[in-house]
Chain A
């Protein structure tokens, strides 16, 4: 027992005082984006149902979809969808036992962040030019 290191051991970090590594932030963002997609899905479902309900109902839903608020919700939802998809693909690699090293998870986090923004911009460009 004499060689037990009592003073210099790493302490168990508490969530509130622990600076989350990037891989942890992108991991929790997977859950947040997945649940936040409710907003986009509800708007889309309302828009579809309104279209078959009648011209008045559609005018209201379509006005919201084409307003700045609708643009904000749909753009944010597109980003959330791409982020969740890319982070989900990372989870499939994790399940296969790949990319579990810290530096690999860090690299994958940047790929998810940059990739989700790039794919959102690409989606917007395709939407506006077609």
Chain B
């Protein structure tokens, strides 16, 4: 049994506390992604089909490497915040909390893996 009233439990959890901030973060990241999306498609499209050495050299160059890393970082942060809205809509209580944790682990895992791979390509490839 909880010894606080429902009003007290809900206080400070409304949109005034973090809801508008979340919405603003989604807005800012979406503006960034509008610019990054075509650049990302060009960078990745140019890499598909290349043999391994050439692929590593491709992403080792500044433009494809930086654009791909930026898109994945901003995109996955946008994804984590986006799934949060969906999870809050459909799941409740501890299941909701666990799903949010899983979404964060997945999102940051993808960021770490991709950025590591891109960094390794950039640092192991001789400049062409």
- B-binding residues in A (CB < 8 A): 31, 34-35, 37-38, 41-42, 44-45, 48-49, 51-52, 55, 58, 62, 65-66, 74, 78, 81-82, 85, 88-89, 91-92, 95, 123, 126-127, 130
In contact, B52 and A89 (Cβ under 8 angstroms): no
How many A-B residue pairs have C-beta atoms within 8 angstroms? Tell me: 79
Which residues of B are found within 8 Å of A74, using beta-carbon distances? 48
Distance between A72 CB and nearest chain B CB, rounded to angstroms: 14
Chain B nearest CB from A66 CB (Å) reads: 7
List chain A residues, Cβ under 8 A from B41: 78, 81, 123
Can you report 28 residue pairs joining A to B where beta carbons are below 8 Å apart? A35-B86, A38-B79, A41-B79, A44-B72, A44-B114, A45-B72, A45-B110, A45-B113, A45-B114, A45-B117, A48-B68, A48-B113, A49-B116, A49-B117, A51-B121, A52-B116, A52-B117, A58-B52, A58-B55, A62-B52, A66-B49, A74-B48, A81-B37, A85-B33, A85-B37, A89-B34, A127-B45, A130-B45
- How far is the CB of A120 from the nearest CB of chain B, in Å? 10
Chain A positions within 8 Å of B33 at CB level? 85, 88
A89: B residues at CB distance < 8 A = 34
A37 contacts B34, C-beta separation under 8 Å? no
Beta-carbon nearest neighbor of A81 in chain B = B37
Least Cβ–Cβ distance between B119 and chain A, in angstroms:
9
B46 near A130 with CB under 8 A, answer yes
Asked if B76 is at the interface of the complex by the 8 Å CB criterion, the answer is yes
Interface of B is mostly: helix
- Interface flag for B25 (CB, 8 Å): no
Given contacts A34-B79, A34-B82, A51-B52, 5 further A-B contacts (CB under 8 A): A48-B117, A48-B118, A49-B117, A66-B49, A123-B45
The A-contacting residues of B in range 17-57, CB under 8 angstroms, are: 27, 30-31, 33-34, 37, 41-42, 44-46, 48-49, 52, 55-56
Contact B27 A92 (CB under 8 A): yes
| Given A35-B83, A37-B79, A48-B113, A127 and B48 contact (CB-CB distance below 8 Å) | yes
Q: Say whether A48 contacts B59, CB under 8 Å.
A: yes
- Whole-angstrom distance between the Cβ of B36 and the nearest chain A Cβ: 10
B97, CB-defined interface residue at 8 Å: no
State the Cβ distance, A118 to closest chain B Cβ, in Å.
Answer: 14
